[in-house]
Structure 1
Amino acid sequence: MKGGSQMDAEIQQRIEASFARQGAMQTMGAELTRVSHKLVEIELPFHEKLTQQHGFLHAGVISAALDTACGYAAYTVIEPDTSVLTIEFKVNMMSPGRGERFLFRGEIIKPGSTIIVADGRGYALGDGPAKLIASMTSTMMVMRGREDIRE
């Protein structure tokens, strides 16, 4: 995993440990490939089990990966004793999910003590240049003092 130079090692480890507990990301074969201040990237290899009826990467898979990237980007700007939960997102599918691999980038555009807003971008990777396939705007709520929510 590539890390950002401005990234605190403890925050990076927290994100890596949390990501490792994500059954959905494990099932999809996703990898956490970049963690830096306000930005997280996740990569996913193409697999036919993740497609819809036309053979493109399923919109639900794209949405899940973008939501996860945005959520972990939020982890880079919150206190160590807090967590986040997504409370809303909007996804625009811009091009069919066709590629050998996919890159999902979440970036914080409005950090806050209670509400955090992130932008996500999904790209298809292959022989040519990366192709933008989806964008997301995500809103997350910072969770404090919730024993039923683990990091």
Structure 2
Amino acid sequence: MGALKDPLAQLRAVNETAAFNRWCGIEVLGAVPGEVEIAMPWRPEVGQYAGFLHAGVVGALIDTACGYAAATLVGQVLAAHYSVNCLRPAIGERFIARARVVKPGKSQVFTACELFACNGTEETLVATGDTLLSVVASSTGEAPPR
């Protein structure tokens, strides 16, 4: 499999190439094989009508964190399916998504994620999610780094 040699540096580099992630202000805080932590600051542009983090952005944070966690073990992946459980309104100064690989495979990777709203040092769980990711193989049969 195409595990990343330096997960944190490689994921930060990939994250910088993603225009959507830059627009959201997503940053990669930590990455070790099978686990990733990302964060995003609150901005009014990512809110919905009542001032909470938009559910679409909640899903994007979960999808991104899970994809990055999978990439640490298998290289480039694409989401085949993901589900999000919004537990309470996402209100915070910052949001942190922590994802982990549940089961890696040669063609599919299962992951799980928790999303927290942060106010100062207080973290509140606001959403959970699961993803099924497909490993993207290169023409050589190996997954390229993500």
Whether these two folds match at TM > 0.5 is: yes
Q: 2:13 aligns with which of 14, 17, 28?
A: 17
Task: Kindly indicate whether the alpha-carbon contact (under 8 Å) linking 1:42 and 1:105 is maintained by their aligned counterparts in 2.
Answer: yes
> What is the one-letter code of the residue matched to 2:100?
E
SS at match of 1:144: coil
> What is the one-letter code of the residue matched to 2:34?
K
Shift of 1:8: 6.4
Corresponding residue for 1:113?
Answer: 106
Higher relative contact order (Cα pairs below 8 Å, separated by 6+ residues):
2
Shift of 1:150: 8.0
Question: C-alpha distance in 1, partners of 2:135/2:58?
Answer: 24
Question: C-alpha distance in 1, partners of 2:60/2:128?
Answer: 12
Output the TM-score relative to the length of structure 2: 0.88
Question: C-alpha distance in 2, partners of 1:18/1:146?
Answer: 20
Shift of 1:12: 3.2
Task: Kindly indicate whether the alpha-carbon contact (under 8 Å) linking 1:69 and 1:120 is maintained by their aligned counterparts in 2.
Answer: yes
Shift of 1:11: 3.5
Are 1:26 and 2:19 an aligned pair?
A: no
> What is the one-letter code of the residue matched to 1:101?
R
- Give the unaligned 5+ runs of structure 2: none
Question: C-alpha distance in 2, partners of 1:140/1:87?
Answer: 5
Corresponding residue for 1:72?
Answer: 68
Query: Which range moved further: 125-134 or 48-57?
Result: 125-134
Corresponding residue for 1:37?
Answer: 33
Corresponding residue for 1:140?
Answer: 133
Shift of 1:132: 0.6
Structure 1 runs (4+) deviating above 4 angstroms are: none
Corresponding residue for 2:59?
Answer: 63
Identity percentage over the alignment? 30
Output the TM-score relative to the length of structure 1: 0.86
